[in-house]
């Protein structure tokens, strides 16, 4: 398009040189040529920007498997590439043969109804695209027969969001491994120049082609991140199953691991941690007692306090757990939590007598959560302590047994989260625990 325009401008300039014109006519002609050239330069600049946006998005895809980040950046790229007001992403729910609203962008997107579910059929534009696998441009949404008006839904807009009006859109399918996994929408084309009023900007075929090019990358990114999340969840499920299998050896400690995970995450909530660190704490808490699989049943299941030699054996479980799980490469940042969760801040713990910051943060968090649950849980030889008394004991040992910063976070968690305050029952019943993730 830009080459043809430039060629026409050059031809017009050549013809203008070959025939005499009056001064006003010549000036008008020159001004017209200037406008044509300015338009060509504007189009070229826009193409360069589009190339930069695509390059930036491609670089992101190669550097992150964060599902929410990838989807958000995909919609940002859509808005920049097509100069539209907002963008949206629906994914396919194969079990229900429906599309569900996955991601909307920015403040405008927040006005849209995120709980929208659309059937995969021709009763909505998004549903039609998912069903047919065809891309569509709709520049008059209100009069399109596929405009989904039932249940107060209009392909992403709803009566509950009166400030947002869908005027036009481009909608393309997302395909991965030969299947449609969702649809990507660009909504409400913006004018080329700011302040341009009175004319309604429309989507064109170039916009469709551009969004289709982007959709190929988005589909791969969405599918890869979904596979990664599924793999990660399978890993967590396997770890949880392993932890539960160990707890089956002693019915009196049933639910201990789940409670320690919960308390650890509640404490982590009040520490300045990255999502990766929180995930490591969760895994470390799940695995903190895995070494007990190597402890004899007569010691593990003893219904009385352990004696000296028996304690010596029991204190080997952190090392046993480390030896078992250190073979798993993916746990190298986690196994410190299981190995050192019985170390003390003052250096009087085991197995290595580490002190202060020598103890990994994961282990320091688990140590507080583990001690708290041990105190409030009932054993065959003693009744569980009242949660408030256990809380006082943790605070009392701040800066001796426990990291003072972790204890401060525990204090906030105890006050703000479900940590078994007041009854002693909550801490022994994992089904009542809230989610501190």
- What CATH number did the domain enclosing 207 receive? 3.30.450.40
Question: Within 13 Å of residue 171, how many CA atoms lie on the same side as its CB?
Answer: 28
Same domain assignment for residues 215 and 147? yes
Cα separation, 222 vs 228, in Å, equals: 10
The strand pairing partners of 32, in sequence order, are: none
Local confidence pLDDT in tens for the 437 residues of the chain = 445 655 555 555 555 555 555 666 666 676 667 666 666 555 555 555 555 555 566 665 655 666 677 777 778 888 888 888 888 889 898 888 888 877 666 554 454 545 578 889 888 999 999 999 999 999 988 888 877 554 334 454 444 444 668 889 999 999 988 889 999 999 999 886 554 454 578 999 988 988 898 888 888 878 887 787 888 888 888 887 877 777 776 665 668 888 999 999 999 999 989 988 999 999 999 888 888 888 787 887 777 788 888 888 888 888 888 888 888 877 888 888 889 999 999 999 999 999 999 999 999 999 999 999 989 987 766 788 899 999 999 999 999 999 999 999 999 999 998 776 433 344 344 434 444 64
What's the gap between Cα 58 and its chain centre? 19
- Residue 346 falls within a domain, yes or no? yes
Range of the domain at 356: 248-432
Same domain assignment for residues 273 and 374? yes
Same domain assignment for residues 216 and 188? yes
Pairing of strands 98-104, 84-93: antiparallel
Same domain assignment for residues 319 and 402? yes
Same domain assignment for residues 120 and 202? yes
- Residue 271 falls within a domain, yes or no? yes
Phi, psi of 37 (to 5 degrees): -65, -40
- Residue 364 falls within a domain, yes or no? yes
Would you say 395 and 407 are in contact if contact means Cβ atoms under 8 Å apart? yes
- Residue 240 falls within a domain, yes or no? no
Same domain assignment for residues 265 and 414? yes
- Residue 71 falls within a domain, yes or no? no
Tokens standing for residue 9: 């401008």
Domain boundary among 203, 230, 257: 230
Tell me, yes or no, if the pTM score tops 0.85: no
Picking from 78, 90, 85, 81, the residue whose alpha carbon sits closest to that of residue 115 is 90
Cα separation, 226 vs 220, in Å, equals: 10
- pLDDT of res. 43: 56
Picking from 66, 62, 150, 72, the residue whose alpha carbon sits closest to that of residue 104 is 72
- pLDDT of res. 246: 74
Pairing of strands 98-104, 117-119: antiparallel
Would you say 164 and 157 are in contact if contact means Cβ atoms under 8 Å apart? yes
The CATH number covering residue 363 comes to 1.10.3210.10
The strand pairing partners of 319, in sequence order, are: none
Same domain assignment for residues 222 and 363? no
Query: Does the bond joining 351 to the residue before it have cis omega, within 30 degrees of 0?
Result: yes
Q: In 94-146, where do the E strands start and end? A: 98-104, 117-119, 136-138
Instruction: Give Cβ neighbours of residue 163 (< 8 Å, ≥ 6 apart).
Output: 111
Q: Write the DSSP symbol of residue 129.
A: H
Cα separation, 129 vs 182, in Å, equals: 9
Domain boundary among 201, 230, 259: 230
Same domain assignment for residues 213 and 306? no
Same domain assignment for residues 150 and 113? yes
Q: What count of other Cβ atoms lies within 10 Å of the Cβ of residue 347? A: 13
Phi, psi of 5 (to 5 degrees): -65, -45
- Residue 242 falls within a domain, yes or no? no
- pLDDT of res. 308: 81
pLDDT digits (tens, 9 = 90+) for 299-312: 877 777 888 888 88
Instruction: Give Cβ neighbours of residue 239 (< 8 Å, ≥ 6 apart).
Output: 283, 286, 287
The total number of structural domains that make up the chain: 3
- Residue 422 falls within a domain, yes or no? yes
Q: What burial class does residue 58 get, using C-beta atoms within 10 Å of its C-beta: 0-12 exposed, 13-18 middle, 19+ buried?
A: middle
Picking from 222, 213, 122, the residue whose alpha carbon sits closest to that of residue 180 is 222
- pLDDT of res. 367: 95
- pLDDT of res. 53: 56
Same domain assignment for residues 195 and 253? no
Question: Nearest-5° angle of CA 391, CA 396, CA 401?
Answer: 100
Residue holding tokens 């009056």? 22
Residue holding tokens 């282990």? 363
- pLDDT of res. 142: 84
Supply the DSSP string of 228-280, one letter for each residue. HHHHHHHHHHHHHHHHHHHHTT-GGGTTHHHHHHHHHHHHHTTS---HHHHHH
- pLDDT of res. 4: 60
Same domain assignment for residues 183 and 110? yes
Q: What count of other Cβ atoms lies within 10 Å of the Cβ of residue 284? A: 28
Picking from 315, 325, 303, 83, the residue whose alpha carbon sits closest to that of residue 196 is 83
- pLDDT of res. 296: 81
- pLDDT of res. 55: 59
Tokens standing for residue 126: 């998004």
Domain boundary among 28, 63, 98: 63
The secondary structure of 321-384, three-state, reads HHHHHCCCHHHCCCHHHHHCCCCCCCCCCCCCCCCHHHCCHHHHHHHHHHHHHHHHCCECCECC
- Residue 239 falls within a domain, yes or no? no
Handedness of CA 349, 350, 352, 354 (dihedral sign): negative
The strand pairing partners of 182, in sequence order, are: 91, 174
Same domain assignment for residues 45 and 87? no
Q: What count of other Cβ atoms lies within 10 Å of the Cβ of residue 402? A: 23
Q: H-helix or E-strand containing 185?
A: strand 179-189
Q: What count of other Cβ atoms lies within 10 Å of the Cβ of residue 138? A: 19
- pLDDT of res. 14: 57
Q: Write the DSSP symbol of residue 194.
A: T
């Amino acid at each position: 398009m830009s080459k043809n325009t430039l060629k026409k401008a050059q031809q017009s300039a050549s013809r203008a040189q070959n025939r005499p014109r009056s001064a006003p006519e010549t000036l008008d002609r020159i001004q017209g040529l200037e406008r044509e050239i300015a338009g060509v330069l504007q189009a070229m600049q826009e193409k360069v920007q589009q190339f930069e946006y695509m390059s930036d998005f491609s670089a992101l895809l190669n550097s992150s498997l964060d599902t929410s980040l990838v989807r958000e950046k995909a919609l940002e790229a859509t808005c920049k590439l097509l100069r539209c007001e907002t963008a949206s992403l629906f994914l396919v729910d194969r079990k229900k043969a429906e599309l569900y609203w996955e991601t909307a962008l920015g403040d405008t997107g927040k006005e849209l109804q995120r709980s929208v579910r659309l059937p995969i059929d021709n009763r909505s534009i998004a549903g039609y695209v998912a069903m047919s696998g065809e891309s569509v441009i709709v520049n008059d949404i209100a009069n399109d027969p596929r405009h989904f008006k039932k249940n107060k839904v209009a392909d992403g807009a709803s009566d509950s969001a009166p400030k947002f009006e869908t005027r036009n859109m481009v909608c393309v399918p997302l395909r991965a491994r030969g299947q449609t996994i969702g649809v990507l929408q660009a909504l409400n084309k913006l004018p080329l120049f700011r302040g341009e009023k009175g004319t309604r900007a429309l989507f064109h075929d170039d916009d469709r082609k551009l969004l289709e090019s982007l959709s190929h990358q988005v589909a791969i990114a969405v599918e890869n991140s979904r596979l990664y999340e599924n793999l990660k969840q399978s890993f967590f499920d396997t770890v949880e199953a392993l932890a539960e299998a160990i707890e089956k050896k002693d019915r009196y400690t049933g639910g201990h691991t789940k409670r320690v995970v919960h308390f650890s995450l509640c404490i982590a909530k009040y520490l300045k941690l990255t999502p990766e660190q929180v995930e490591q704490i969760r895994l470390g808490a799940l695995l903190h007692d895995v070494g007990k699989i190597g402890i004899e049943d007569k010691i593990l299941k003893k219904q009385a306090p352990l004696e000296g030699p028996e304690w010596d054996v029991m204190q080997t479980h952190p090392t046993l757990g480390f030896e078992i799980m250190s073979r798993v490469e993916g746990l190298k940042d986690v196994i410190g939590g299981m190995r050192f969760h019985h170390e003390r801040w003052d250096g009087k713990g085991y197995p290595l007598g580490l002190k202060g910051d020598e103890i990994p943060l994961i282990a320091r968090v688990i140590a507080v959560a583990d001690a708290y649950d041990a105190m409030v849980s009932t054993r065959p030889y003693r009744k569980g302590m009242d949660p408030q008394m256990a809380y006082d004991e943790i605070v009392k040992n701040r800066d001796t047994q426990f990291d003072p910063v972790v204890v401060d976070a525990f204090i906030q968690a105890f006050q703000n989260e479900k940590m078994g305050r007041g009854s002693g029952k909550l801490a022994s019943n994992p089904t009542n625990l809230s989610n501190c993730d």
